């Protein structure tokens, strides 16, 4: 079982194994540039592994924990980073299930030029990892 804070510590440590362990097997990941979400621990972990490589100087600056729904806790983590030299600001919105694992992760990033650079960098790496004819054949994030 995890609690809000476990995911953050794993990301800050760049520990993909710990990040993966904090994810529910049925996690749904919503991207700022993809219409359809990623589903499942393995797919989301692969994407998060690429993000760990692509983000430079990544650090969380703020953390908000929802108190509104005890049955569905949520956490927002605000971050700053660079992608290929471009400054990016973002927010990771996490939802937790009964088991304490992350069941939902929505990422939002700004400004648009940095978001597009991020999408291109991640898309290239994901396509290389998936090989020709991967799941979507389009940019990922």
Q: pLDDT grade, residue 4 (50/70/90)?
A: low
With respect to residue 10, please indicate whether it lies within any of the assigned structural domains: yes
With respect to residue 134, please indicate whether it lies within any of the assigned structural domains: no
The pLDDT assigned to 71 comes to 67
With respect to residue 136, please indicate whether it lies within any of the assigned structural domains: no
With respect to residue 1, please indicate whether it lies within any of the assigned structural domains: no
With respect to residue 35, please indicate whether it lies within any of the assigned structural domains: yes
pLDDT in tens, 75-128: 999 999 999 999 999 999 999 998 889 999 999 999 999 999 999 988 888 777
Q: Is the pLDDT of residue 73 over 90?
A: no
Going by C-alpha positions, the residue among 44, 13, 1 that lies closest to residue 26 is 44
The pLDDT assigned to 57 comes to 96
**DSSP letters along the chain, please?**
---TTHHHHHHHTT-HHHHHHTEEEEEEEE-SS-SSPEESHHHHHHHHHHHHHH-EEEEEEEEEE--S-TTS-EEEEEEEEEETTEEEEEEEEEEE-TTSSEEEEEEEEESHHHHHHHHHHHHHHHHHHH-TT-SSSS---
With respect to residue 88, please indicate whether it lies within any of the assigned structural domains: yes
| Domain coverage including residue 64 | 6-129
pLDDT in tens, 12-50: 999 999 999 999 999 999 988 777 899 999 999 999 999
Q: pLDDT grade, residue 69 (50/70/90)?
A: low
With respect to residue 32, please indicate whether it lies within any of the assigned structural domains: yes
If you search the block for the tokens 């703020």, which residue do you land on?
Answer: 62
pTM of this structure: 0.84
60-97 per-residue burial string, b: 16 or more CB within 10 A, e: under 16: beeeeebeeeeeebbbbbebebbbeebebebbbbbbbb
CATH number for the domain including 21? 3.10.450.50
* Number of structural domains found in the chain: 1
With respect to residue 74, please indicate whether it lies within any of the assigned structural domains: yes
């Amino acid at each position: 079982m995890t609690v809000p804070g476990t995911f953050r510590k794993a990301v800050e440590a760049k520990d993909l194994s710990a990040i993966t362990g904090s994810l529910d097997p049925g996690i749904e990941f919503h991207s700022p540039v993809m219409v359809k979400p990623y589903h499942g621990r393995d797919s989301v972990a692969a994407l998060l592994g690429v993000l760990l490589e692509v983000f430079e100087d990544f650090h969380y600056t703020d953390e908000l924990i929802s108190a509104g729904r005890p049955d569905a806790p949520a956490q927002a983590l605000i971050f700053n980073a660079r992608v290929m030299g471009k400054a990016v600001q973002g927010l990771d919105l996490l939802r937790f299930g009964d088991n304490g694992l992350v069941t939902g992760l929505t990422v939002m990033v700004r400004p648009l030029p940095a978001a597009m650079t991020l999408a291109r960098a991640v898309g290239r790496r994901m396509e290389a990892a998936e090989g020709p004819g991967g799941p979507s054949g389009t940019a990922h994030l």
